[in-house]
Chain A
Amino acid sequence: MSVPLRKEKTEKPLKPPKTRLGRWLAQTAEIPYGGVIFLVFLVVFLFVMVWSVLHERESHVRVPDVGRFEEALPSIANLTGSPILGGNSVQVLQNGDGFFPPLFEDIARARQNINFETYVWWKGEICKQVAEALAGKARQGVEVRITLDATGSHRGDDDLFDMMKEAGVKISLYHPFRLGDLALLNNRTHRKIAIFDGKVAYVFGHGIAQEWTGNGQDAKHWRDTGVRLEGPIVNSVQAVFAQNWVDQTSEVLVGEKFFPRLAEKGSVRAHMTASSPRGGVSEMELLDKMAIATAQKELIIQNPYFIPDEELVDLIDNAVKRGVRVRLMIPGQITDSSIVRHAGHKQFQTLLEKGVEIYEFEPTLSHQKIMIIDDLWSFVGSTNFDDRSLDTNSEASVGLIDREVTGELKAAFEADLKRCKRLDARTWSQRSLWHKFEDSASYLLNEQL
């Protein structure tokens, strides 16, 4: 299209632009009507297309009532992408003191390969220890693969990453900044998993940072929970690792050293749920909604980032009406994301009035993502209760069907309760206006939190 330019009519512009560029831009161009219509059409068309591709597809899920929670479990597992596998053994790992020592032992024991995926890799002594342990194995000829989220690990020490790479560790950065992949930038991997020789797997909430060491004793040592798994379910955890690995590196993991035939190791039935951003309803959102809708006696949620949308609030409300005791534990003053904390508060008044018990954990950040239902089923992993985890990120958590393991997690919850402050509806409604304002303002951003 030719664009004939001409000088602006000199009818005393109020402020003549000073720079040359300014003057040039202040000119007008004469173009045909058709051209303008075409341009406007193009802008509108592209806008609709982009919006249609990017907008969060609304997913209103209707879950019918069931008589028993057990009856819903096969549906929950199958609908979220993984069948229930029997014959597993599970070890619950609490805080840094319970998590890192067995992790180091398994690193030391690994003979063929170590696969590790994490979101957070910050700074501190523990990062050095993990890096050295992994590099040491790589030097011995063990294949070590690490998927690190590019955002979660950008604070990490480059020297450590270089040291590992030199030792032969394969590090894959998940969704690094690339012009061609701008659209992926918002999708992070929040998964925290580790698999050793295809036979032992860890699913956890811990990041690799000094904050996750210790025993949840103070503001600098956080509270978190993971599990160590053996048995057929380890194949499923490996498959979850393999997903992001093949996407980022093109390397396909083949052979018995990755996917061995696994003998039964215990009596726990388990199902692995992993979500990654795609068109439909995310597996994690479906799982949360189905689990809450089918609980019959008791629902316990421990989560650091709890921002329920209206549908979840309704489901929780229905659960309370069915006679389910609903207890929710979230961080108190100590949180690493006060905007998330405030956004979560938006719905607290409603929840409290409906009869949900809400507890704020006081001593430190409680970072574990746990759900416990009817003393039978528990869910442990990386998944927060917010839109980012439910719709955007790539997550991994494991469902465990076993009274003993669930009992152990519930005992830990009850112990945490002693270090909590319970919120009550009356004093909550009297929180300061400023606090209420912060809550509403933060909630506006909830799709991205």
Chain B
Amino acid sequence: MIEISLWLLISMIATILLLGTMLWNNLREREFHVRVPDIDCFEQALPSIAGMTKAIILDGNRAEIVQNGEFFTALLASIAEAKETIHFETYVWWTGDICAELAEAFAKRAREGVEVRVMVDAMGGMKMKRQLRELMEKAGVKLVRYHPLRVRDIGQLNKRSHRKIAVFDGTTAYICGHGVSSKWTGNGEDENHWRDTGVRLHGPVVNAVQSVFSQHWIEETGEVLVGEKYFPAIELQGEVKMHVLAGAPLGGVSDLELMFKMSIAAAQKELLIQNPYFIADEETTALLKRAVTRGVDVKIMVPGKVTDSPIVNHAGHRHFSEMLNAGVKIFCFERTLIHQKILIIDGVWSHVGSTNLDSRSFDINEEAGVGIIDEGIAAELKAAFEDDLKACEEMKAESWDRKYDLWHRAIDRACYLLSGQL
């Protein structure tokens, strides 16, 4: 026991309360209830969706969809073809042959004099093998970790970069959902080979992807990318209009949340969602129900038994019953984990990227995605969606409600309580 003056004790407690309030003040998730008015024509909403998410619709682009492990084939080819600069940012860097293959490809090009910049999230890349890191660094690859553990940045630790992008010579870009791990190789055939989708872009939109890459690069390294080799004047490459979405949380309404909610509110005919982490809050649930009432065909595909995060799955179940009863169609993909983050609306617009439909993607992490205004791309993604449907089991309101016993409900609610961080 120690004798301590009440003065001191009280002032210490007061300091703790004050600091605690300040911290809560800064870190708490600010609630934003977004009110989106209904619109009669989805195309009319597109400039607003781009504008509200601080982007410009850029014309004259070309896009190619890359499915599953095909992504790595394309990526390795682009690495081999790059002339001046290779930029790569990712969240997951785990283990497997593909990690070594990629690291060697980067190292080879760096030795040949190409500027190679690789940014890996410090948390998602924790499992990166030391010899691969050294191999790349020795070859001259600039390898940087996003938000590593530093005492002075402890307050930023929860904020991760979940972006998955690559930019080659400032003229070709990739935006995808894939991580660097053997899980993403193959063709989504079994539990060890996941299903994912990315897109390769050519045209003026690549400038916008480059600026998304530069954000974290400058933040971590201070190096500013100036000049035509990073931001070339890009000639028109095709007919596709696009806008880039890059989540910028902290303080305001998140761009990606806004994009999701606005596009759900604006859909007129058909709304297809594929997402591995789908936790609809009350507002999204209400928007989805309203869409069904408007006559929109709403189909949502989520993981079934194969998931890497059961807690997210359970939290997602929270509003399933309500949605099913309102007429939202929900499908569980059973073959493997579907990891792609796809949104297809009215057959005219689609979104591909890294953003999950949960608070972590909306309010905490940094994300990147692209909105593509093109009927051809939308049709291609829809065909893939329909193909995936074959490996799905549809949830039915009656059987779900029967299965949805008290115990399951309790787990769902408990998980949903954590949804601010999921």
Give residues in A with beta carbon < 8 Å to B: 3, 5, 24-33, 36, 39-40, 42-43, 46-55, 57, 59-64, 66, 71-72, 74-76, 78-79, 81-83, 85, 180-184, 187, 235-236, 238-239, 242-244, 246-247, 250-256, 258-261, 276-281, 286, 289-290, 294
Which A residues are in CB contact (< 8 Å) with B32?
Answer: 246-247, 250
From B4, B22, B23, B28, give the contact of A28 (CB < 8 A): B4
B: which residues have CB within 8 A of A? 1-7, 9-10, 12-13, 15-16, 19-23, 25-28, 32-37, 39, 44-45, 47-52, 54-56, 58, 151-156, 159, 204, 207-208, 210-211, 214-216, 218-219, 222-228, 230-233, 248-253, 258, 261-262, 265-266
Query: What residues of chain B lie closer than 8 Å to A52, measured between beta carbons?
Result: 151-156
Q: Decide: A279 and B159 in contact? CB cutoff 8 A.
A: yes
On whether A182 and B25 interact (CB within 8 A), knowing A29-B6, A254-B262, A256-B44, the answer reads yes
In the complex, the answer to whether A247 meets B207 with C-beta atoms within 8 Å is no
Q: Find A79's partner among B1, B152, B211, B252 (CB 8 Å cutoff).
A: B211
Classify the interface of chain B: helix, strand, loop or mixed. helix
Given A30-B1, A250-B32, A79 contacting B48 (CB threshold 8 A) = no
A183 contacts B25, C-beta separation under 8 Å? yes
Task: Enumerate chain A residues within 8 angstroms of B204, measured Cβ to Cβ.
Answer: 83
Query: 12 interchain pairs (CB within 8 A)?
Result: A28-B3, A29-B5, A30-B1, A55-B152, A63-B226, A74-B231, A79-B218, A82-B54, A254-B36, A254-B266, A255-B39, A294-B226
B233 touches A74 (CB 8 A): yes
Which of A82, A279, A290 contacts B156 (CB under 8 A)?
Answer: A279
Give the shortest distance, in Å, between A145 (CB) and chain B (any CB): 14
Q: Are B1 and A31 in contact (CB under 8 A)?
A: yes
Contact present for B2 and A252 (CB under 8 Å) = no
B48/A279 in contact, CB under 8 A: no
When distances are taken between beta carbons in the complex, the residues of chain B under 8 Å from A182 are 21-22, 25
Q: Please, how many angstroms separate the alpha-carbon atoms of A286 and B266 in the complex?
A: 36
* Contact A46:B23 (CB < 8 A) given known A28-B5, A239-B52, A239-B54: yes
A11 to B150, CA, bound (A): 50
B251 close to A30 (CB less than 8 A) = no
Chain A neighbourhood of B262, CB < 8 A: 252, 254
CB contacts (< 8 Å) of A276 on chain B: these are 251-252
Q: How far, in angstroms, from A113 to B375 measured CA to CA in the complex? A: 32
Q: In the complex, are the beta carbons of B6 and A28 less than 8 A apart?
A: yes
Given contact pairs A28-B3, A82-B54, A253-B52, a sample of 20 additional A-B residue pairs in the complex whose CB atoms are under 8 Å apart: A28-B6, A29-B6, A43-B19, A46-B23, A53-B155, A64-B224, A81-B211, A183-B25, A239-B55, A243-B54, A246-B258, A252-B258, A253-B51, A254-B49, A260-B47, A278-B251, A280-B215, A281-B218, A289-B224, A290-B226
Across-interface contacts of A277 in B (CB, < 8 A)? 250-251
Query: Which chain A residue has the least Cβ–Cβ distance from B13?
Result: A39
B214 is contacted by which of A33, A54, A79, A250 (Cβ under 8 Å)?
A79
Task: State whether A29 touches B248 (Cβ < 8 A).
Answer: no
Cα A123 to Cα B50 with chains together (Å): 37
Determine which of B7, B21, B39, B208 lies in contact with A78 in the assembled complex, contact meaning CB atoms within 8 Å: B208
Q: Which residue of B lies closest to A22 (CB)?
A: B7
